[in-house]
Amino acid sequence: MTTSGGTLVLAPAHQEPGSTRPPGPYARLFRIPGARAFTAGNLIARLPMGMFSVSAVIMIAGERGSYALAGAVTATGLAATAVVAPWTARLVDRYGQARVAVPATVLAVLGSLALLLCVRRGAPDWTLFAAYAATATTPNTGGMSRARWAHLLKDDPAARHTANSFEQAADELCFMLGPVLAALLCAALFPEAGTLAGAALLLTGVLLFAAQRSTEPPVSSRASRGSSPLRTPGMAAMLAVFLATGAVFGSMEVVTIAYADGPEAGVVLALQAAGSCLAGLAYGRAHRTARLRTCLAAMTVLMTLPLLAANTTGSLLAVAGTLLVAGMATAPTMVTGMTTIQRLTPEGRLNEGMTLAVTALLGGIAAGSATGGWTVEHAGPALGYTIPAAAAGLALLLSLVPARMGAGMTKARLS
């Protein structure tokens, strides 16, 4: 309000000449010195995470003529990662990101190249398992990036929430584009092209990421003498939630591929990832965040939509639309869950704590894939959508366990 001729009137807010609107939350993130550089390297390194398994399946099945062998090899690699990844993350916390991530990546890249040569040269089947198991040393680049944000924004919880939302959206984008890029390269060039490109991108990205030493979190003395994150009250319950949430993702992928039964499956799955990516970016701009149980409840409800669409309409287009909507519950759930993991993890063990969460997620994806595949085979693809809905409901129930068991079990709030 202002005065004009002795009269009080409404007027537009005064703005200095040449002034601009204040930057949004994401723009403020990337004004931090070094943030753009380490994010660029991390995104390059993270893209292959969605490429390797698809590339391996196409390469092995194409050369050996066996999808069973290809699936067994990739499953072995997943199991090896579940065992090795927390140890790699512990070394990262103890000795620093650059000192551990670069040699660990070199070993993983050598494992990928060894797999390629074994397949190409007709080596015995057991060599494929050994070579792919060597890729388990691949560092958790997403976890290292989140650790950098946590270090840079340790006094700004709102900005940390925005950073975690960006990282989750980046995960969804990479897992959406990775399989498409891998399939395109293998089909357009040669069966080994996806593996070669993935190895090159991983090594290049990690080298660029590790070179940004100014934003690297300092090594904490507590990383070597502190207790394991597994012993933290509330951590086991959170890992169980992540395990069930991974089953949602794994079963949804297998069931959707079976339901589409054609090249449309990739597009339909991409819609789900796109919905999650968009929701993650929007969630990062929110001034208020939801509790984890609220996010899980929303995901449980939305995961019933594909089940209803498949069993009432039988239309792939309808299922695709419901997957787009259902995917919107994914990123907020993961962002809130990862924020809780960060809060529960002891000081100096952040990479290890987040890697344990990712390991639980991968274990759930494997279990969900197997359960979804069995259900599709015995009950049909339409009823297969009961599995992701049931897994989401289980995750919600698990998130309630600490509260029901009383404060003596844990004082951590799942919010």
220, with CB counted inside 10 A (0-12, 13-18, 19+), is middle
Q: How far is CA 62 from the centre of its chain?
A: 28
Above pLDDT 90, what percent of the chain?
12
Q: What is the pLDDT of residues 384-396, one digit of tens each?
A: 899 999 999 999 9
How far is Cα 395 from Cα 387, in angstroms, rounded to an integer?
Answer: 12
Phi (first) and psi of residue 66, to 5 degrees: -140, 110
Mean of the per-residue pLDDT values of the chain: 79
What is the distance between the alpha carbons of residues 353 and 398, in angstroms, rounded to a whole number?
19
Question: Could you count the other beta carbons within 10 Å of the beta carbon of residue 265?
Answer: 16
By the 8 A CB rule, do 359 and 86 touch? yes
- What is residue 413's three-state secondary structure? coil
Mean per-residue pLDDT for 259-276? Answer: 75
Going by pLDDT thresholds of 50, 70 and 90, the confidence category of residue 109 is very high
| 116-155 per-position pLDDT tens digit | 998 888 888 888 889 888 888 888 888 888 888 888 888 7
Least confident of 70-74, 111-115, 146-150, 306-310: 70-74
Maximum alpha-carbon separation in the chain? 94
Tokens in use for 276?
Answer: 């999650």
Place of tokens 């208020």: 288
Say what the pTM is.
0.71
Give per-residue pLDDT as tens, 169-214.
787 777 767 777 777 787 778 888 888 999 999 999 999 998 888 8
- pLDDT band at 225, cuts 50/70/90? low
- Residue 65: both structure tokens together: 């003529």
